[in-house]
Amino acid sequence: MSRYWSPIVDTLKPYVAGEQPRIRNLVKLNTNENPYGPSPKVLAAIRAAADDGLRLYPDPSATVLREAIAARFGVQPDEVFAGNGSDEVLAHTFQALLKHDKPLLYPDITYSFYPTYSRLYDIEAVEIPLDEAFRIRLADYDRSCGAIIIPNPNAPTGVGLSLAEIETLVAGHADAPVVIDEAYIDFGGETAVGLISRYPNLLVVQTLSKSRSLAGMRVGFALGQRPLIDALERVKDSFNSYPLDRLAQVAATAAVEDVDWFETCRQKIIATRERLTGELERLGFEVLPSQANFVFARHPDLPGVEVYAGLRAEGVLVRHWNKPRIADHLRISIGTDAECERLIEVLKSLPPAAK
């Protein structure tokens, strides 16, 4: 620490992003990136915007993008908030909507930015344990609270809740904001956006990083009734009026509008996920039922850190956390069929206990 730091800095435990190593011929299955490129219409839109000149500031309201998102989801443009990746959208959400006199609730095994933001914004939070099958139990959230945030499907487990369960959660906490983080919803879940018109306490957050292959552009968005979006805009405009550059806005708009490309790519990923799940189970792995573009798996006879190290030594990178309850699990992103075949090939070469 330094004597020049503000007091809060020494108390923070920053979020640790997935590794982005520069290793040739690496099979990279650790950060849930889409193995297929973005729509050709995205690349054309970026080229046109660059040719048009970057000397001007971008639209601070991302109007065209918000209109495209609104049309896609059947809401009004003023019910859409766009930000620099869903991480920024979530950061503004924590500050604008989730700090109250009563505690914020979220799962104990979940997206690790939640506790990071809670510490950063001095939000009292209570972690609600997942059950033995790593599922969210709605009954455990039936308590007094200031707000709730959950990913659906959950990360890193990939396990999802049904739309009926989400509605039960939202309806049961009418006096508290409920945020549903749908970063992975397009790979098997059912979005809660259709509930927004009936529930003024519901905010749905999504990203274009996963199902639309724009992780490198950093675009996320939230949907909710106007008062919730107004709160996010007030925080955003007190922090950075221009979070989305001109290239990001046109790229995201093209990605949202190209439904055919989106459907084709996501169906490929879903099909590969099901094949990979079967292959892992044939090798003895226990694989949680996933609705995401990754699987969460463990082998009953070999520590997760050893499997992780064995894969890495052969140029296959997956995600491992040395944390209680999940230290033996690996989160494996869904790559191309060839990348997943290489993963299985390496796993078969590991010591007998892993077979």
pLDDT of residue 354: 45
Q: Going along the chain, which residue ranges are E strands? A: 27-28, 80-83, 104-107, 125-128, 147-151, 178-181, 202-207, 220-224, 286-287, 294-298, 316-317, 319-320, 329-333
pLDDT value, residue 265: 97
CA dihedral 21, 245, 37, 16 (to 10 degrees): 30
Confidence band, pLDDT 50/70/90 cuts, at residue 204: very high
pLDDT digits (tens, 9 = 90+) for 243-254: 999 999 999 999
Determine the pLDDT at residue 355. Answer: 44
pLDDT digits (tens, 9 = 90+) for 103-143: 999 999 999 999 999 999 999 999 999 999 999 999 999 99
Q: State yes or no: pLDDT of 23 exceeds 90.
A: no
User: What is d(CA 351, CA 301) in angstroms, rounded to the nearest whole number?
Assistant: 10
Residue 176 has pLDDT above 90, yes or no: yes
Please give the torsion angle defined by the CA atoms of residues 238, 239, 240 and 241, in that order, rounded to the nearest 10 degrees.
-10
> For residue 20, is pLDDT > 90?
no
Q: Is the confidence at residue 353, as pLDDT, over 50?
A: no
- Tell me the per-residue pLDDT of 303-324, one tens digit each, with 9 for 90 and over: 999 999 999 999 999 999 999 9
Cut 0.75: pTM above it = yes
pLDDT tens, 254-302?
999 999 999 999 999 999 999 999 999 999 999 999 999 999 999 999 9
Which pLDDT does position 352 carry in this prediction?
A: 62
Give mean pLDDT, residues 159-187. 98
